[in-house]
Amino acid sequence: YLPLDFLRPAVERALARGLGRQVDVGGVHLNLFGTPGLTLDDVVIHEDPRAGIEPFAYVNSLGAKVRWLSLFRRHLDFANLNLGDATINLVKTEAGPWNFQFLLARTPSGGGAGGGGTADGSPVPAIRMRAGRVNFKFGDLKSVFYFDAADLDVDPHSDGSVELRFGGAPSRTDGTARDFGRFFVNGTWRSSPSQNLDLNVDLERSSLAEVSRLIDPRGFGIHGIVALQAQLSGPPSGLAISGQVQVDDVHRWDLVPQGGGWKLPFQGTLDLHRETLELASPPAVQQAAQLSLSLRAWDFLSTTQWEAGAQLNQIPLAALIEVARHMGAALPDQLVAEGGVSGSLDYKEARTEWGRSPTCQGRLEACAAGASSPEDGGLNGRIELSDALLTLPGSQPLHAESIALDIAQGEIRLEPTTVAIGEKESAELQGSYALLQPHDPDLRLTSRGLNVADMRPFGLAAIPLLDQTTQGTWRGTARYRAGEWSGEYEL
């Protein structure tokens, strides 16, 4: 490298013309290896005044390829900038646009129009970054979200479009380093005649637990594998989204994966200015499928807030029991279930600092509760089981025409339900289960007469006296609460 510090003022002016913002350079060297160019040390690319005062990028060593034709005009321009492992700040301004929009608007055909440009309309150089870091800011507030090991390519074209390629590992500053699958974006940006993006987005197969910690550092206690593919098109304030998410091997943290998965298509809109995202199952899926989902998120890079909904339409009860087994429910392996489940559920995250739920301590039940009141958020809804039938080998089947569950204020309530046992016996069940402070359910059983032998296979043998009895008839009322049975009955 040949030191050329006397060129530093000219280099700084050339970079400022190309990037539309002030640039400070610590040292200039002529690179004679490979394609001749300049190597710039300790480069600070300052921010557009509309986006704040913290610099846009810090670059330890920047490789700059000169646009040689500009030398004949005695006007130094750069064709390519290699930022190496730089640190970049992406800022959302109070007016709405992001700082990168000011930079991308400086296309060869657009000149300085659209923001951030200079009067001479110097084109944006091609930009490269490898293994860098991308931070997010909102005014002067820096987000806990960032991308590590980030690769970036920005290639302006003569027709006014800009080709974009990005890859990085999503991370949070308030958690330990974790292994995420990489997140990829590639496509084009056009600033004329109006701003428009056309992008493909991919998330490699990643740990579901780690991805969930992007929302809450303590997670939801659910493990598995998730991958995503999506297409985005339109203006930054109204990007149309369509794609598919793949979820596999869902299980509780302390259990072994048992396989199985789902492919869930979605569509919706993304507003980069207002930081809002709305997704839902496509209309065709909502009409034909047994399960349709919706998601709305806002302030997702600062104080993450979100709410989700699910519509169930005669989902097989057997499928839900299998999911419950994956999540650790102690259900007999020989249990056979029939019937359908319908209803609607919605969940709203409690509003707390950085999107954390105060009741979530890494347990699924606590996270599902979300908050202490409906105003704060939490899980709400109603589901109904129709024509439900449960069978165990060697025992009478249990049948209920309808079972209704109401979920509100952190509690699941089982409405009074008549359950037939075999052809001649029946019992009435009702109960509740608290999500905010998980413990054993509160269950009440009432019957005018049940065969003791028919009660034992379904976990009722722990009722006092029944644990010592193999035959007879039981009638009366029993209640299971706080881990103990009590009641008034005859045997």
Stretch among 155-164, 248-257, 392-401, 468-477 having the lowest mean pLDDT: 248-257
- Determine which helix (DSSP H) or strand (DSSP E) holds 258, and give its type and residue range: none
CA angle 15, 21, 23 (to 5 degrees): 50
Place of tokens 């054993």: 440
Residue 399 pLDDT level (bands cut at 50, 70, 90): very high
pLDDT digits (tens, 9 = 90+) for 272-300: 888 899 999 998 877 777 889 999 988 87
Highest mean pLDDT among 119-123, 207-211, 255-259: 207-211
Q: What is the mean pLDDT of the chain?
A: 81
In Å, how far from its chain's centre is CA 170?
A: 11
Q: Rounded to a whole number, what is the distance in angstroms from the first to the last CA of the chain?
A: 97
Stretch among 199-208, 344-353, 388-397, 408-417 having the lowest mean pLDDT: 344-353
DSSP 396-461: PPEEEEEEEEEEETTEEEEEEEEEEETTTEEEEEEEEEESSS--S-EEEEEEEEEEHHHHGGGTTT
Supply φ then ψ for residue 257, to 5 degrees.
-55, 140
- Determine which helix (DSSP H) or strand (DSSP E) holds 80, and give its type and residue range: strand 78-82
Higher pLDDT, 358 or 31: 31
Average pLDDT over residues 19-35: 85
**pTM of the predicted protein model:** 0.73
pLDDT of 377 above 80: no
pLDDT digits (tens, 9 = 90+) for 332-370: 778 889 999 999 999 887 554 433 444 343 333 444 444
Higher pLDDT, 177 or 26: 26
Q: Alpha-carbon distance 393 to 400, whole Å? A: 18
Assigned token pair, 361: 């301590």
